[in-house]
């Protein structure tokens, strides 16, 4: 996860915010188990690369990284204070 964090630091904040927003809104619109939602979300984010297993793995890792950053579910105290 630290590698992902370092990689994301090289991107513009607005791009990361946009990606987070897209992941959040898409995830909230899906139904099924967590595993099914992650699979569908990965396919939505990379529709032209579903045959590339390595690419799909990287997209899934990124989605899980954002999930672990409390983008879904209960908000952290910091998120509540900044809202």
DSSP the chain: -HHHHHHHHTS-HHHHHHHHHHHHHHHHT--S-HHHHHHHHHHHH-GGGTT-HHHHHHHHHHHHHHIIIIISSSPPHHHHHH-
Q: How confident is the model at residue 72 (pLDDT cuts 50, 70, 90)?
A: low
Is 5 a domain residue?
A: no
* 7 is a domain residue: no
Domain count, the chain: 1
Q: Which domain holds residue 57?
A: 13-82
Residue 45 has pLDDT above 60, yes or no: yes
Q: If you average pLDDT over residues 61-83, what whole number do you get?
A: 71
């Amino acid at each position: 996860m630290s590698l992902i964090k370092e990689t994301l630091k090289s991107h513009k904040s607005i791009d990361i915010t946009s990606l987070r927003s897209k992941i959040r809104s898409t995830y909230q619109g899906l139904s099924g188990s967590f595993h099914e939602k992650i699979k569908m979300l990965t396919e939505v984010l990379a529709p032209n690369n579903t045959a590339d297993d390595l690419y799909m793995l990287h997209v899934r890792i990124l989605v899980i990284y954002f999930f672990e950053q409390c983008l879904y579910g209960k908000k952290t105290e910091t998120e509540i204070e900044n809202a």
